[in-house]
Amino acid sequence: MVFGASAVRQRATAKREPIEPSRRQQRIRRMLDRWGVPVVSLAGQTVLPSQIVAGTMVSLGAKRNRVIGWQVLSIVLWGVIFATLASLGLLAIG
């Protein structure tokens, strides 16, 4: 998704004037400008799926490799959090 968004962005910006971003893109742009790639990668998954957040960040101009690195870390971190919650839930049940 990230590589595809990067390729589309390169082609689109090379030949055209920028178009008006959607409301979702504007929201992610505000988050990206305010907190940067790390926070958007970690917190963005509470709002949208990671592939949408990653693709949108790259299409808005974030560096592709930085987005990929933070998305990998974010996915692992969220996986550990939910695995721990599931284990604790199973222990509480019995």
Q: Tens digit of pLDDT for each residue in 55-67? A: 888 888 889 999 9
Tokens of 85: 């919650």
pLDDT tops 80 at residue 11 = no
For the chain, what are the domain ranges? 2-93
Give the Å distances, CA to CA, from 66 to 40, 44, 71, 88. 12, 15, 8, 33
Q: Nearest CA to 20 among 54, 62, 63, 60?
A: 60
Q: What is the pLDDT of residue 76?
A: 95
**pTM given for the model:** 0.71
pLDDT single digits (tens) 25-76: 788 788 889 999 999 888 888 887 888 888 888 888 889 999 999 999 999 9
Q: What is the pLDDT of residue 18?
A: 66
